[in-house]
Structure 1
Amino acid sequence: MVVQHNMQAANANRMLGMNVKAVAKNTEKLSSGYKVNRAADDAAGLSISEKMRNQIRGINQAVSNSEDGQYLIQTAEGNLNEIHSILQRMGELATKGANEVNATDDRKAIADELTQLTEEIDSISKKAQFNGKYLLSKEMNPNISKGISLQVGANKTETMTVQLKEINSSQLGLSDLKTKAVLGSNYADGLSTGTSKYRNLMSTVTTAVKTVSDTRSQLGAIQNRLDYTINNLENYSENLTSSESNIRDTDMATEMVNYSKNNILQQAAQSMLAQANQSNQGVLSLLQ
């Protein structure tokens, strides 16, 4: 029996230290929910996980961007719907004015309403905007023909352009209703003098309705595409999140088993260390 070196106690103390550290790691993983809390836990796993997290956050923002694009389209289409309603009324008035049963005063009243409706189309065009972006007026937005670019992915090349088109009385062929162009001081006076101008206006309004319809159809197609884009992004984000979870998240059941095991080993090492220290006490009995 030796006194200077108690190898049993030293071994028990070393194992106790290892078990204390193991229990501490188990506790950290259980309390944080992550099995990778620092690079030392899994250097490669941490690197992959952080890249995935960056991608996931970019994808989630792209979903938000795509939804903003849909709101923009809905705003533009809402304004175009109002213009459609105005054109339908103008077509109705033009058809009514083309009827020779109407007196001159009747056609003049119709012409006055047509002028007001034309001015309202231009008013809607100049006011239509989303978050400061004018959607239907080149006067308000000189770059309207370039459209609006949406970032619909986490990578710089993943973009989509919402094509915009100027819609006003001039583009729809109705600007003469506000000019001194025909048969008098203005087009309204011309309309009040006979039925031929109303018949021409019927054709013009029909063409204008088609122009607005085509524009709405194009916007609707982009909105539908954005629906599919959002669904794909959300599915991609879900799959990446699942993969990132497998790398970084704690398996609570497995970790609890490890915690229980290491906790038992820690208590056993404490007991063995105490017994190893007591064994040297027998040397004192030899000295009595």
Structure 2
Amino acid sequence: MITRVTQQMMNNTFMRNLEANNRQMEKLQSQLATGKSIVLPGDDPVVAARAMFFRSNLTEANKYVDNASKAQLWLDTTEGALHNSTEALHRVRELLVTASSDATSVDARRAIAKEIEQMKEHIKEIANTSVAGRHIFAGTHVHNEPAHVGPDGKIEWVGNDGFIELEIGMNNLMTLNISGSQIFKVDDKSIFDVLDEVTTKLLDGNTPSNEISSYLSKVDDFMNNTLDYMAEIGARQNRLDFTIHRLEGLILGLEEAKSNAEDVNAAKVITELQMQENVYRASLSVGARIIQPSLVDFLR
């Protein structure tokens, strides 16, 4: 069966093809303007799904890096606080060595007692160290100072033994804090209680030297305990450094994969756009010949 091709059919076909050319040119122009190979998910659902997958992974990886940076700040602050505490305890030990000598006068012991009192206040400030308003040794009671002056004027420990964890990877949690009771308490007696006791004995001019020297071992216990936890903090910092390095490498890989999936090849798109423009001009030229003049055109 022979189908008769009418002028109207030719005109309609020409207009459909011209519209298709316009859509293709618009798509290429949008790609150049946005730098993306897809503007809408419907342009290429497979590529769009792949790009969304890479974007989701990038968001997750960047969140882990952000958490790791926060953990790094917390651990660095903890390490500095423990180092300062060790130095303060070392100074206390030096003072006790001097005070335990029989050659030290009563007045000298009382002067030493005043300096130890100041070291106690310094250690209290260390125990109340905070990062961004959160006290690092307070357990989970981060908004309250753990070393608190009680009604009797003595320093009380009001922090708890809770742990704070931060996610630095998929199913990868890191404990940020060390409970202050682990640092500033040994055998259920706090360093503040020990310093209060020795200060009282130094102010009492009748305390034997050997009784003063007995506190050296107690101060050593606190120093050794602090050094042990400094080593633990160092181990966590090393783990965190490796984790951050791994995450940064992962992010670079995901950025490259995302770019390959959705970014345009500018040179290729420009070439295709030029070709499409040539096709468009050729279509217009052919269309001018296809669309015949009507009777109205002759009557003008």
Other-structure match for 1:150: 166
More contact order relative to length (CA 8 Å, sep ≥ 6): 1
User: CA separation in 2, counterparts of 1:175 and 1:143?
Assistant: 16
Q: In percent, how many aligned pairs have the same letter?
A: 24
Residues 100-115 of structure 1 mapped to structure 2, 5 A cutoff: 100-115=102-117
1:213 to 207, 214, 227: 227
Other-structure match for 1:257: 271
User: CA separation in 1, counterparts of 2:263 and 2:206?
Assistant: 79
**1:237 matched to 2:251:** yes
TM-score, normalised via structure 2 length: 0.80
1:178 to 196, 200, 223: 196
CA RMSD of aligned residues (A): 3.0
Q: After superposition, what is the alpha-carbon deviation per residue over 1:174-200, rounded to whole angstroms, capped at 9, x for unaligned?
A: 623314xx8xx9333458633213322
Q: Which runs of 5+ in 2 are unaligned?
A: 147-157
Distance change in 2, residues 1:261/1:210 (3 Å)? same
Q: Is the 8 A contact 1:118 1:169 kept in 2?
A: no
TM-score, normalised via structure 1 length: 0.83
Residues 4-83 of structure 1 mapped to structure 2, 5 A cutoff: 4-5=6-7, 9-83=11-85
Q: Aligned partner of 1:130: which letter? A: V
Q: Is the 8 A contact 2:138 2:159 kept in 1?
A: no
Q: Is the 8 A contact 1:107 1:192 kept in 2?
A: no
**What is the Cα deviation at residue 260 of structure 1?**
0.8
Q: Which runs of 5+ in 1 are unaligned?
A: none
User: CA separation in 1, counterparts of 2:5 and 2:164?
Assistant: 85
Other-structure match for 1:84: 86
Q: After superposition, what is the alpha-carbon deviation per residue over 1:233-269, rounded to whole angstroms, capped at 9, x for unaligned?
A: 1111111121122211111111111111111000110
> Which piece of structure 1 moves more, 98-107 or 223-232?
98-107
Q: Residue 107 of structure 1 aligns to a residue in which SS?
A: helix
**1:162 matched to 2:176:** yes
**What is the Cα deviation at residue 124 of structure 1?**
2.5
**What is the Cα deviation at residue 117 of structure 1?**
1.6
